[in-house]
Amino acid sequence: MRKIVQALIGAQWGDEGKGRVVDALAQEVGVVVRYQGGANAGHTVIAEGKKHVFHLLPSGMLYPNRLCIIGNGVVLEPEQLIKEINELAPAPGDIGTKLVVSRAAHVVMPYHKRLDAASEAFRKKNNPDAVIGTTGRGIGPCYVDKYNRIGVRAEDLVSPESLEKKLRLNMAEKNPLLEKIYGEPPIEFESIYRQALEWGDFLRPYLGDSSFEIASAIERGERVLFEGAQGTLLDVDHGTYPFVTSSSCVAGGCCTGGALGPGRIDRVIGVVKAYCSRVGEGPFPTEDRGEVGETLRQNGGEFGATTGRPRRCGWLDMAALRYSVMVNGLDVLALTKLDVLSGMDELKVCVAYEMDGKRVSVFPNSAYGLEKVRPVYESFKPWKEDISGCGSFEELPSAARDYVDYIERDSGVRVGLIGVGPGRESTIYRDF
Ligand code: GDP
Ligand code: IMO
Ligand code: MG
C-alpha cells in the first residue's frame, strides 16, 4: 500500500464492510477523512474482540496518533457525534487521536429529523410508492437546507448571533410547513437555541479548517484515506434515484466534500460484498425473498448497523459492480464477507439482465429502468469449507478462488483484499 491519497467507496447499496477495510488501511495511513453523508452511516470495526460502530467519526479513530477529519461535505448530528466521542474517550477530552471537524459542515438540527419522518409519513399517505425508507436521521432535509443556502453550519454553533438569526429564519419557513402541510407542532426556538450552543461549547476544540488540514497533510507527504459512506447505488446522481440518499457517494464526492483536486487521488478502492444487500425501499434485481436471502441474512448478520432493520439480501450482481467500476474509476477491489458464502448449497451470480426479452449487460441508473430488469444468473461451484482461518489466497478452497478470479475477470479490477471474517485478523492481503 504505497499510494498517498486514496478514496474508498462502497460499490453496492451500502454496508459492504467499508468500516473494516478503512480500519485495515488505517494501520498505514496518517489521515482518515469522512466527506459525505451523516449519521445514516453505520460502519462496523471489530478490533481486539470489541465491536465499534461509527456513524460520524471516521473509522480510523481506533489507531493512536492519527488525524481524523470530518469534512465539509458531511452533515453533522452533534448529539450523535458527542456520544461517539464520549464513548471513545477513557477520560474527557482524551480520544487518543486528533479529530478535526470542519467549520463548514452542516448541522442536522432536531427539526431535520422531524421533517425526515414527517415527509416519509406524507409520502406513505399520498403516494406509498414514493416512500424511501430513510434512516430517519434528517439527512435529506439537512442537505436541502445546505443547497437552499439556509443551513446551519458547525461554525454557527459557536456564534450565538448568527445562530439566532439562522434559526429564526428557518422557523419562519419551516413552521408553516410542519403545521399546515404535515400537521405537526412547530419548532420551539428557545430549547433548540440553547441546546445548539451547548453542542457548540463541546465541539469548539475540534472545529477547524478541514480543507487546510487535508492540503497540509498531503504536502507533508502523509497518506490520506477518504472514507466514503453509503454506496454508489445510493448516490444522489448515479444511484437508483429516487431511492437514494442525498449526497455524492461516488469517489468524485471526496473532491468537494473534502477539498481535494481530482488529480490528487492516487487510487480508488471499491468495497464489494461477496453478495448483495440493501436497506430501505427501491429496486434490487437479485433480491431473494426466500431461503437463499434468509440464509445470507442470518449467516452474514445482515441487520442494519444504524436502524437494526433486516437487510434485504441476494446474489452478487456483476452488472451493478461493472457500473460501479465505471462511475468511480475503481483501481482495486476489497471483497468482503466471502466466508458468508461457505456452506451454501448453491452459488449464483447475476452476470447480466434481461429487459423486454433482450439480454443487457449495462446497469440502468434509475429506479424506473432497474424495476424492469430480470437477473440472468450463472451458477458457480459452492464450497463447504470454513474459510475464516485462511490467511492467504492460496489457502482458500479452489471453488472460492474461482469465484474471486471470476469477479476479477468480469469487473476488470484486481481483488486486492479479501475479508473472510469480521475481525482485523480475518483479512487476506494480495498486494493491497
Ligand atoms: P459498512 O457500512 O460498509 O462499514 O458496513 P457495516 O458495518 O454496516 O456492515 C458490515 C457488517 O459485516 C458488519 O457487521 C461487519 O462486522 C461485518 N463484516 C465485514 N467484513 C466481513 C467479513 O469479511 N466477513 C464477515 N463474516 N463479516 C464481515
Ligand atoms: P453505510 O455508510 C445502507 C439508505 C436508507 C434509505 C436511503 C435513504 O453504513 O453503508 P437516508 O437516511 O440516507 O435519507 O436514507 O439510503 N441508507 C443506507 N443503506 N447503508 C448506509 O450507510 C445507508 N445510509 C442510507 O436505508 O434506503
Ligand atoms: Mg453500514
pLDDT given at position 431: 82
- The answer to whether residue 386 is catalytic is no
Handedness of CA 281, 287, 289, 292 (dihedral sign): negative
5-95+209-429 placed in CATH 3.40.50.1980? no
- CATH class name, domain 106-205: mainly alpha
- The three-state secondary structure class of 401 is helix
Q: Ligand 1: which of 44, 230, 388 to mutate, most ligand atoms within 8 Å of CB?
A: 44
Rounded to whole angstroms, how far apart are CA atoms 88 and 52?
A: 9
**227: Cβ below 6 Å to ligand 1?**
no
What the block records as the C-alpha cell of 382 is: 459452492
SS3 sequence of 99-165: EEEECCCEECCHHHHHHHHHHHHHHHHHCHHHCCCCCCCCHHHHHHHHHCCCCCEHHHHHCHHHHHH
Per-chain mean pLDDT for the chain: 96
Domain ranges of the chain: 5-95+209-429, 106-205
AA letter at 254: C
Write down the residue that cell numbers 429529523 correspond to. Answer: 113
For residue 248, the CA-to-ligand 2 centroid distance in Å is 12
Residues 254, 226, 42, 131, Cα dihedral to 10°: 20
**337: Cβ below 6 Å to ligand 1?**
yes
Q: Look at residue 2 and tell me whether its pLDDT is greater than 70.
A: no
pTM beyond cutoff 0.75: yes
Is the peptide bond between 242 and the residue preceding it cis, with omega within 30 degrees of 0? yes
CB atoms under 10 Å from CB of 45, counted, come to: 24
pLDDT given at position 93: 64
In this structure, the residue with its CA closest to atom 9 of ligand 1 is 15
- The answer to whether residue 52 is catalytic is no
What the block records as the C-alpha cell of 237 is: 446522481
pLDDT of 386-428, one tens digit each? 999 999 999 999 999 999 999 999 999 999 999 999 999 999 9
Q: Ligand 2: which of 135, 238, 276 to mutate, most ligand atoms within 8 Å of CB?
A: 135
106-205: same fold as 5-95+209-429?
Answer: no
Judged by its nearest atom, the ligand closest to the C-alpha of residue 281 is 2
